[in-house]
Structure 1
Amino acid sequence: MSRIETLTASDGHHLSAYIAGDAGAERAIVVIQEAFGVTPYIRTVCDRLAELGYHAVAPALYDRVKRDLIFGYEGEAYKKGIETYASCDQADALLDVSAAADYLQQAGHKRVGAIGFCWGGLLSWRMATQTQKLQAAVSWYGGGIAAESHAAPHCPVQLHFGGRIRISRIRIY
């Protein structure tokens, strides 16, 4: 069962979130979008995780710009998605992801993880290094992590990248 709910960030901002699974699920995870919004792909990730026993929440990080923004992966839609991402305040995005983690904790989950893709991968890393809200984090091709590799995560982290990349000084538990 999936649904859209409204979350409240610590600064009072209200944002929508796609939620799959239920509070009684054994596991809890925040699914963090790419630069294209809470796309059908991100919703499918949530749904698949729910099928595996997770209570999954994908916060709509573009709600501070405009509600329900979703961009395509090609052409002008792709360019608009990248432009919108670039215009977002990163501290606000972290507040919105934190709101999703808080939602899961308030639902009764003592252990919350995060998985993020691209921008969401970077935000997953930031959640692991700048907050104490997660017990595990996974990043898929998180652009910008190399520039923040000096930060120490407070929980186990998996970083996934394709091709050749060199990151040094990352401490993984």
Structure 2
Amino acid sequence: MGQWITLTTSKGPVAAWQAEPTGTVRGSLIVIQEIFGVTEHVRGVAEQYAAEGYLAIAPAFFDLVEPGLELPYDDAGMKRGLEIVGEIGLDAAVDLVEIAAQAARTAAGNEKVATVGYCWGGTVALLSAQRLALPSISYYGGRNGMFVDQPLKAPVQFHFGEQDAHITPDIVEAQRQAWPDMDVFTYPANHAFNRDASPAVYDEASAKTAFARAVAFLQENIG
């Protein structure tokens, strides 16, 4: 079972959910939230990866603007979440990933760190590979298309829903073209198909297949 820890940043303390595995630690994973905060679902994702042998840390990025905030999965929550991530900015988000990664290395006693991110966090995960050289798993990163002209410094695995109205096939194809050596997977599912807290979009079969692929990616890249 996980617990809340505190990360020290230049902008003040930031909470993070830390899920510790039992037995030998394979490495560490930074879990990067959607635009709703470190919700029960995000904490559950961290626990899911901890069960596979990875120390998982999910920083509460919203703490950079409004500490302790978790938003509902509705239109009002989405609107507020978009406002907050816009205020945080992607540069500050990547800086927080770097701080969390160092905390993970210390806690795990292991230098191997990767990231996994969802929606907004999917793009932060991509940037973590481009700027921090962290192997990363990017789920339906809506802003990924803005960065296809930037090289990768670490491997990235991509997951997209074929029914995602926000990320059209041409955007997915641009990522295949930009990084032909990387796996770009698509599923017969919608945006946020991994979020089991939202029955309207959750697709169990796609989520399970993607998770198995993500674990295989981690085993290959960090142990």
Query: Partner of 1:118 in structure 2?
Result: 119
Task: Give the drift of 1:162.
Answer: 1.6
Given that 1:150 and 1:170 are in contact with CA atoms closer than 8 Å, whether structure 2 keeps it comes out as no
Given that 2:11 and 2:64 are in contact with CA atoms closer than 8 Å, whether structure 1 keeps it comes out as no
Distance 1:12 1:25 in 2: 30
> For residues 127-146 of structure 1, what are the structure 2 equivalents within 5 Å?
127-132=128-133, 134=134, 136-146=135-145
Given that 2:33 and 2:121 are in contact with CA atoms closer than 8 Å, whether structure 1 keeps it comes out as yes
Task: Give the drift of 1:22.
Answer: 5.0
Distance 1:36 1:172 in 2: 32
Distance 1:126 1:3 in 2: 27
**Which gives a bigger RCO, structure 1 or 2 (Cα 8 Å, sep 6+)?**
1
Normalising by structure 1, we get a TM-score of 0.90
Given that 1:152 and 1:171 are in contact with CA atoms closer than 8 Å, whether structure 2 keeps it comes out as no
Given that 1:128 and 1:154 are in contact with CA atoms closer than 8 Å, whether structure 2 keeps it comes out as yes
Runs of 4+ in 1 over 3 A off after TM superposition: none
Distance 1:59 1:8 in 2: 11
Deviation larger for 68-77 or 14-23: 14-23
Normalising by structure 2, we get a TM-score of 0.71
Amino acid at match of 2:155: P
Change (3 A) 1:13 1:22: farther
Distance 2:180 2:102 in 1: 26
Query: Partner of 2:14 in structure 1?
Result: 15
Aligned CA-pair RMSD: 1.8
**How far does the alpha carbon of each residue in 1:51-72 deviate from its partner, in whole angstroms, 9 at most, with x for none?**
1111000001011111111111
Task: Give the drift of 1:13.
Answer: 3.2
Given that 2:27 and 2:111 are in contact with CA atoms closer than 8 Å, whether structure 1 keeps it comes out as no
**How far does the alpha carbon of each residue in 1:121-142 deviate from its partner, in whole angstroms, 9 at most, with x for none?**
101110100113x2x2100001
SS where residue 161 of structure 1 aligns?
Answer: strand
Give the structure with the higher percent helix: 2
Query: Partner of 2:150 in structure 1?
Result: 151
Task: Give the drift of 1:106.
Answer: 1.9
Identity of aligned residues (%): 32
Given that 1:72 and 1:81 are in contact with CA atoms closer than 8 Å, whether structure 2 keeps it comes out as no
Given that 1:15 and 1:64 are in contact with CA atoms closer than 8 Å, whether structure 2 keeps it comes out as yes
**How far does the alpha carbon of each residue in 1:75-95 deviate from its partner, in whole angstroms, 9 at most, with x for none?**
322222222222222221111
Given that 1:30 and 1:115 are in contact with CA atoms closer than 8 Å, whether structure 2 keeps it comes out as yes
> For residues 1-80 of structure 1, what are the structure 2 equivalents within 5 Å?
1-9=1-9, 11=10, 13-22=12-21, 25-80=25-80
Query: Partner of 2:102 in structure 1?
Result: 102
Task: Give the drift of 1:12.
Answer: 5.7
Distance 1:172 1:13 in 2: 39
Larger Rg: 1 or 2? 2
Given that 1:36 and 1:72 are in contact with CA atoms closer than 8 Å, whether structure 2 keeps it comes out as yes
Change (3 A) 1:152 1:172: farther
Change (3 A) 1:22 1:48: closer
Distance 2:152 2:105 in 1: 20
Distance 2:124 2:173 in 1: 20
Given that 2:21 and 2:52 are in contact with CA atoms closer than 8 Å, whether structure 1 keeps it comes out as no
Which consecutive residues of structure 2, in runs of 5 or more, have no partner in the other structure? Answer: 163-168, 183-223
